[in-house]
Structure 1
């Protein structure tokens, strides 16, 4: 069965608060069958298709695209995002979304 995965680039401007965001949102992610795959801190971007800065790149996957949408629309997740994600991330880029086996 295919899963849906996204490759995401972020500009983290507050590492401590972003770590708190990850800790707070992870139980919701796990409960919905989601997980992180790869996770990198990036020191230099050599080529980009966007002007946003990127210093963190990761994959996040879900059982399917509908569950991914439900996760990001979840009111509890939205509250966590407002509290931690928004003040810790300068910009974000969805590099790609794709199905995986």
Structure 2
């Protein structure tokens, strides 16, 4: 994978896709998915194929957000930021550089 997903919604135009991205499945190939339960996952952004970040948050008037660096295959948290005040259920946005 050479393209990255570095900003919320794929960038300021909010196209929700990486430019030029496609599945390009070949005959006999298939997709495999992995899932993980989290409180609320707002978005995933990719800094590179091995740097994947997940923005999470709680709800309510005193919502907090945090960012996890996750394993790109298992989705398990490798590290996490401190809890960040978010206000009334607004998770914030995320970009990597």
Same fold per superposition (TM over 0.5): no
Greater relative CO, 1 or 2 (CA 8 Å, sep 6+): 1
TM-score (norm 2): 0.25
TM-score (norm 1): 0.25
Instruction: Point out the structure with max Rg over C-alpha.
Output: 2
Greater per-residue helix proportion = 1
